C-alpha cells in the first residue's frame, strides 16, 4: 500500500498512484526514460498538457537528461559518491526554479500548476521544475472599469505573476515585499500580500495574515470570496475593502502605507485599510493640476447628494412642503400631476425600479444589443408612461438626473451603496417629509462613523477630524504641500519628502535695461 503523503523509492508504484489519483486523466503526460550510459537509471517526467511549455520540456529537460548527460562526467561523479539528485541539479538540469519534493501534496500542487516533475527509481525524493509553465492568459490591456483621459492605460490581468510584475515596475524599491499563501482545499488558489516594508503598519499586516489564515473553504475563484471573509462589517451597505484593477492606483495606495491583497485568477486587487474618501477619489485626480482636481471633486460630492437624496427631496417638497417652491413652478407641477393617479412616492418608486431593471438588463445582455435596448427602453417607457398619465414629466427628469449622478462616482461599489440607500430615504420622505430625510441622513452618517477597516476609522480624516489629513479629501492641495502620509495608516516613516514649493521665476531683463547697465 503506497503512503498517500510521502513518495516511495519504487518508481512504478509512484506512477500508478499518480495515475489513479488523477483518474487516468488524458491531459497527464508521463514520459519514461533512462538517464546515463548503457542501461542507465529508470526515470519518469510528468507534466500537464496545456499548462506546460512542451518545447521547454523537450529542449531544457529531456535533451539534457537523455543526450547531454552522456557527454558529461556524470557516471564518474556517481562512482565518487555524489548524490544523484544533487548531481542532476548542479550539473545537468539547466532550468530555473528547481525544488525537491518528497510528498504527493507538493507534487500535485506543482504538477497541476503547470510545473514539471522528475522522479527517479530507487529514490524517494523527486525534482519539481516550476519555470516551464505556459498557459493561455490575457495580456495587459486598458482598464474597462476605471478609464482616464490622462494617465497610464494599463490594467491588471488574471495572472498573479504579471500583476506583481506591474507593481514592481512602478515601485523599484527592495522594501516592496511579497508574501504568498495558498487558500482553498480544492482550488489551492495563490494569494499574494504586497506592502512596502517600513511604511506599512506591522499591526495591520499581522491582522491581514491572521484573517487570511482563518479562511477554511474548498475554493477561491475571485477576490469577492476573500473580501467577505476578512471584512470588518459584513452587514453594512458600504464597502470596507477598496479594490482596483489599475497598477498606478494600487502603487499609490502602497506608498501611503496600505497593504494590497492579490488573488490569482482575477484582475481586481484589494487594498486594506479602506477609507470612505478612497472610494471618492479617481486616479486622474492626481494627474491633473490641483485646482482642476479640486473642482471635479466638489462636483463629485454634489453628485453624491443628488444620487442619494434626489427623489426623496422631490417627494418631500411636493407632498409636505409646497410652500418652498415658487408659485409658477408649483402651478406647473400641479398641472402635470393632475392626471397622475399615484402619490409621489409610488410614482418615484415605479420609475426607480424600472430604471434599475433597465440598467441590469443592459449589463447582462449581449453587447451587440445591450446599448440599443437600454436607450430604446428608456426613451419608449419614459415617453409612454408620461403620455399615459402614469408618471409626470417632472418625475422622469428627477429620476434621470439621479441616475446620471450615480455614474459620476469612481467606485462602482460605493455607487451600489447609494442606490440601495435611496429607497429608505424615499420612504422616510413620503412619511415625514424633510424631517424624515434629515433623520435618515443623520442615521447614515452615524453608521459610517461607527465603521472601521482593519482598526482604522472609516470616515477619517473627517471623523476623527484631522486638519493635516484634509489636504487630500474634498479638495486636493498641490503635491508640494502633501509631504506626509495619513497619520492613522502609516504610523512610522510618515514623511514623503521635503517641501519644495515652486518659486516664481525672475522676470527676464529687457534689452533696454541691459543696455543701460
Based on the fold, state whether residues 197 and 83 are members of the same structural domain: no
Q: Which of 414, 430, 457 is the last residue of a domain?
A: 457
User: Where is the domain boundary, 107, 129, 151?
Assistant: 129
User: Which residue bears the cell 471633486?
Assistant: 297
Ordered DSSP codes for 410-475: S-HHHHHHHHHHHHHHHHHHHHHTHHHHHHHHHHHHHHHHH-EETTEETTTTTTTT-TGGGGBSSS
506 belongs to a structural domain: no
Q: Are residues 263 and 301 in the same domain?
A: no
Which residues are CB-neighbours of 28 under 8 A, at least 6 positions away? Answer: 18, 19, 22, 46, 48, 49, 111
Q: At what angle do helices 434-450 and 290-319 cross, to 10 degrees?
A: 140
Same domain, 308 and 448: yes
Same domain, 92 and 42: yes
Question: Has residue 440 been placed in a domain?
Answer: yes
CB neighbour list of residue 138: distance below 8 Å, 6 or more residues apart = 157, 158, 159
Do residue 328 and residue 443 come from a single domain? yes
Shared domain check, 342 and 205? no
Residues 340 and 383 in one domain: yes
Is 144 inside any structural domain?
no
Q: 60: which DSSP letter?
A: I
Selection from 457, 409, 43 nearest residue 275 by Cα: 457
Inside any domain, residue 35:
yes
Question: Along the 517 residues of the chain, how does pLDDT read in single tens digits?
Answer: 344 578 888 889 999 999 998 988 888 999 988 887 666 788 899 999 888 888 888 888 888 787 766 655 566 555 555 677 887 887 778 777 888 898 888 899 889 888 899 998 888 888 998 878 877 777 788 887 888 888 888 899 988 888 999 999 999 989 999 999 999 988 889 999 999 998 988 899 999 999 999 999 998 998 989 999 999 988 899 999 999 999 999 999 999 989 999 999 899 999 999 999 999 998 888 998 999 999 999 999 999 999 999 999 999 998 888 888 888 888 887 777 777 788 889 888 988 888 888 787 777 777 666 666 666 666 677 777 777 778 888 888 888 899 888 888 888 889 889 989 999 999 999 999 999 999 999 999 999 999 999 989 999 889 888 888 888 888 888 888 888 888 888 777 778 877 666 666 666 555 454 444 4
369 falls within a domain: yes
Of 402, 436, 457, which one is at a domain's C-terminal end? 457
Residue from 109, 150, 147 nearest 128 by CA:
109
262 and 309: one domain? no
Residue 478 inside a domain? The answer is no
Does 6 map to a domain? no
Phi-psi region of 363 (alpha: psi -120 to 50; beta: other; left: phi over 0): alpha
Q: Do residues 226 and 310 both lie within one domain?
A: no
User: Residues 297, 268: one domain?
Assistant: no
Total domain count, the chain: 3
Both 425 and 332 in one domain: the answer is yes
Query: What is the reported pTM?
Result: 0.83
Helix 412-432 to helix 434-450 angle, to the nearest 10 degrees? 140
Q: Identify whether residues 225 and 354 lie together within a single domain.
A: no
Residue span of the structural domain in which 58 resides: 11-129
Amino acid at each position: 500500500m503506497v503512503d498517500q503523503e510521502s513518495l516511495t523509492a519504487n518508481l512504478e508504484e509512484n506512477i500508478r498512484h499518480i495515475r489513479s489519483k488523477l483518474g487516468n486523466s488524458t491531459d497527464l503526460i508521463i514520459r519514461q526514460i533512462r538517464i546515463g550510459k548503457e542501461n542507465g537509471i529508470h526515470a519518469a517526467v510528468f507534466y500537464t498538457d496545456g499548462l506546460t511549455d512542451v518545447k521547454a520540456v523537450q529542449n531544457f529537460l529531456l535533451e539534457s537528461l537523455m543526450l547531454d548527460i552522456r557527454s558529461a562526467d556524470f557516471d564518474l561523479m556517481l562512482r565518487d559518491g555524489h548524490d544523484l539528485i544533487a548531481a542532476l541539479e548542479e550539473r545537468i538540469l539547466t532550468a530555473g526554479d528547481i525544488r525537491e519534493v518528497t510528498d504527493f501534496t507538493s507534487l500535485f500542487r506543482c504538477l497541476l500548476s503547470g510545473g514539471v516533475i522528475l522522479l527517479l527509481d530507487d529514490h524517494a525524493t523527486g525534482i519539481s521544475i516550476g519555470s516551464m509553465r505556459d498557459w493561455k492568459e490575457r495580456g495587459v490591456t486598458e482598464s474597462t472599469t476605471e478609464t482616464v483621459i490622462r494617465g497610464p492605460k494599463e490594467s491588471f490581468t488574471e495572472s498573479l505573476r504579471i500583476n506583481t510584475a506591474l507593481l514592481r515596475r512602478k515601485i523599484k524599491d527592495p522594501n516592496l515585499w511579497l508574501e504568498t499563501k495558498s487558500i482553498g482545499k480544492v482550488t489551492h488558489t495563490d494569494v499574494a500580500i504586497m506592502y512596502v516594508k517600513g511604511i506599512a503598519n506591522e499591526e495591520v499586516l499581522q491582522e491581514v495574515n491572521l484573517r487570511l489564515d482563518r479562511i477554511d473553504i474548498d475554493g477561491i475563484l475571485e477576490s469577492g470570496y476573500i473580501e467577505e471573509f476578512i471584512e470588518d462589517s459584513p452587514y453594512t451597505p458600504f464597502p470596507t475593502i477598496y479594490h482596483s484593477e489599475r497598477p498606478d492606483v494600487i502603487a499609490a495606495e502602497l506608498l501611503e502605507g496600505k497593504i494590497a491583497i492579490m488573488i490569482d485568477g482575477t484582475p481586481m486587487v484589494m487594498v486594506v485599510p479602506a477609507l470612505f474618501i478612497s472610494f471618492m477619489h479617481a486616479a486622474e485626480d492626481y494627474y491633473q493640476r490641483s485646482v482642476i482636481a479640486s473642482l471635479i471633486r466638489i462636483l463629485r460630492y454634489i453628485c453624491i447628494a443628488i444620487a442619494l437624496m434626489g427623489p426623496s427631496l422631490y417627494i418631500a417638497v411636493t407632498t409636505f412642503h409646497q410652500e418652498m417652491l415658487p408659485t409658477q413652478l408649483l402651478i406647473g407641477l400641479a398641472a402635470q400631476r393632475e392626471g397622475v393617479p399615484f402619490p409621489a412616492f409610488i410614482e418615484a418608486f415605479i420609475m426607480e425600479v424600472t430604471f434599475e431593471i433597465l440598467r441590469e438588463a443592459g449589463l447582462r445582455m449581449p453587447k451587440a444589443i445591450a446599448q440599443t435596448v437600454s436607450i430604446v427602453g428608456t426613451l419608449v417607457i419614459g415617453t409612454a408612461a408620461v403620455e399615459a398619465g402614469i408618471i409626470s414629466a417632472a418625475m422622469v427628469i428627477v429620476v434621470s438626473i439621479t441616475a446620471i449622478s450615480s455614474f459620476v462616482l469612481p467606485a462602482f461599489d460605493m455607487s451600489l451603496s447609494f442606490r440601495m440607500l435611496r429607497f429608505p430615504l424615499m420612504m422616510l420622505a413620503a412619511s415625514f417629509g424633510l424631517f424624515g430625510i434629515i433623520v435618515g441622513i443623520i442615521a447614515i452618517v452615524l453608521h459610517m462613523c461607527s465603521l472601521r477597516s482593519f482598526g482604522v476609522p472609516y470616515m477619517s480624516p473627517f471623523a476623527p477630524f484631522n486638519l493635516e489629513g484634509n489636504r487630500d479629501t474634498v479638495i486636493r492641495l498641490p503635491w508640494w504641500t502633501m509631504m506626509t502620509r495619513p497619520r492613522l495608516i502609516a504610523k512610522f516613516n510618515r514623511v514623503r519628502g521635503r517641501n519644495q514649493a515652486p518659486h516664481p521665476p525672475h522676470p527676464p531683463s529687457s534689452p533696454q535695461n541691459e543696455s543701460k547697465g
